[in-house]
Amino acid sequence: MTASKLFDPINVGRMRLSHRMAMAPMTRFRADDAHVPPPMVKDYYEQRAAVPGTLIITEATFISPQAGGFSNVPGIYNQAQIDAWRQVTDAVHAKGSYIYLQLWALGRAADAEALNAQGHALVSSSATPLSSDSPTPKELTEAEIHQYIRDYAEAAKNAIAAGFDGVEIHGTNGFLVDQFIQDTCNKRQDLWGGSIENRARFPLEVTRAIVGAIGADRTAIRLGPWSTFMGMRMADPIPQFAYLAKKLADFKLAYLHLVESRISGDADVESAEELGFLVHAYGNASPVIVAGGYKADSAKQAVGLKYKNHEVIIAFGRPFTSNPDLPFRIMAGLALRPYERDSFYLRQDPRGYIDYDFSEDFKVQQQQQQQQQQQQQQQQQQQQQQQQQQQQQQQQQQQQQQQQQQQQQQQQQQQQQQQQQQQQQQQQQQQQQQQQQQQQQQQQQQQQQQQQQQQQQNSIAHS
């Protein structure tokens, strides 16, 4: 493995990534008809989390029913969806990796008939149709705009409840947030349009609401100033997006995600306008993720040279679909398996989704790691057994010491009792001796008295 900054660890929000290769968000249409991720979605993300310390950004996910309008796209607005996503996040975390949920509102890009069938209207920043033969969306009212902002915040809280490490606002490719940013769609002349500042208001207020709900270090946003997808691309996007990036920097987000024009929706583009103005405007407020059809060599060059003064992560999209161990392959210098475009959007179909195998080298590494883990576990078990034996020996020694102490205490007690008995005997002997002495004294006194009496009698007799 050749040295590259691409392989260096980096702190992002609350995460510690082991390298600088992230999985970009990609719509795959594998959710069920109720917008709930089925088990194969768990398998899909679990496979791509196999290299520990990898950041995965999920496919765009609807924040509410009215924000949708495509079938088989996951949501994050009810308990069934939260529970299903929890299976995904648990699986990713078990691999030692991280996962952000991308929050999505379609706006005028939605299927109007599908929305109408659910009782929802096609909406946008302005009544500007996507194309000449597209239906005209309803311009969102002030109250409806604030409801969308609340929906974003609620979806972010639901994502955290589902176990995600954070959320990314989908702000590019001509969907609702982008429809407010760019004047190709936004024709308003109020607080939400008509100037650079006002066109930036909706993404900034959505960001502010999410930051307030879950924290800045779990919040991110994706922008793409050069994309022409879904009727976007202002005549001069630089002033608009530079202003937005400067304002976003004040939030101290987990990261800013930028898309070069090499990727436009689901199509490849030959040339790419520069993102340097955006990176410069954002400064070093937090790491920047850059996406744009990068290959291994161009990714290394971008991180090590092009953006060498910034903390940059490269997002890989379509190559990740056919290479679940993509970070390992790039670090090991292995060729990437070509992706299959025809399988990108097979609705509810596991083909081209979870049937790509890991590289043989990665399998060998995993086997070696498993063997090492088993050896470590065996060593730990042996250490535990030794510790248990030592503890048992210590306990036995302690018990023996306690028994010895008890015996010593008993001996001391016996000695004390013997001493007490001896003292009592001595006291009794002393008392007996004292009594004998008293008796002797009494006898002597009696004898003296008798002698005195005899002397008196003798003296009387002589007189």
Question: For residue 2, what pLDDT is reported?
Answer: 65
Over residues 350-373, the pLDDT tens digits come to 999 999 999 999 999 988 888 888
Half-sphere exposure of 268 (CA within 13 A, CB side): 7
Over residues 69-97, the pLDDT tens digits come to 999 999 999 999 999 999 999 999 999 99
Could you tell me which residues come within 8 angstroms of residue 441 by beta carbon, excluding any fewer than 6 positions away?
none
Question: What letter does residue 359 receive in the DSSP assignment?
Answer: P
| Mean pLDDT confidence for 140-166 | 99
Q: CA 439 to CA 425: how far, in whole Å? A: 21
Strand partners, 16: 11
Question: For residue 289, what pLDDT is reported?
Answer: 98
Question: For residue 295, what pLDDT is reported?
Answer: 94
Task: Please say whether the structural domain 5-358 has been given the CATH code 3.20.20.70.
Answer: yes
Could you tell me which residues come within 8 angstroms of residue 425 by beta carbon, excluding any fewer than 6 positions away?
none
* Residue length of the chain: 463
Three-state DSSP at 110 gives coil
Q: Measuring CA to CA, how many Å separate 228 from each of 105, 129, 267, 268, 274?
A: 18, 15, 11, 12, 15
Q: CA 281 to CA 278: how far, in whole Å? A: 5
**H or E, element range at 315:** strand 312-316
For the chain, the maximum distance between any two Cα atoms, rounded to a whole number of angstroms, is: 178
Question: What letter does residue 234 receive in the DSSP assignment?
Answer: -
Could you tell me which residues come within 8 angstroms of residue 62 by beta carbon, excluding any fewer than 6 positions away?
35, 68, 73, 74, 75, 76, 77, 104, 105, 106
Over residues 391-437, the pLDDT tens digits come to 999 999 999 999 999 999 999 999 999 999 999 999 999 999 999 99
Q: CA 89 to CA 79: how far, in whole Å? A: 15
Mean pLDDT rounded to a whole number for the chain? 94
**H or E, element range at 288:** strand 288-291
Taking 60 as the threshold, does the pLDDT of residue 160 lie above it? yes
Three-state DSSP at 213 gives helix
Task: Give the count of beta carbons closer than 10 Å to the beta carbon of residue 442.
Answer: 10
Three-state DSSP at 261 gives coil
Q: Please give the structure tokens belonging to residue 52.
A: 């520990």
Percent of the chain residues topping a pLDDT of 90: 85
Look-up: residue for tokens 């040295």? 3
Could you tell me which residues come within 8 angstroms of residue 136 by beta carbon, excluding any fewer than 6 positions away?
127, 128, 129
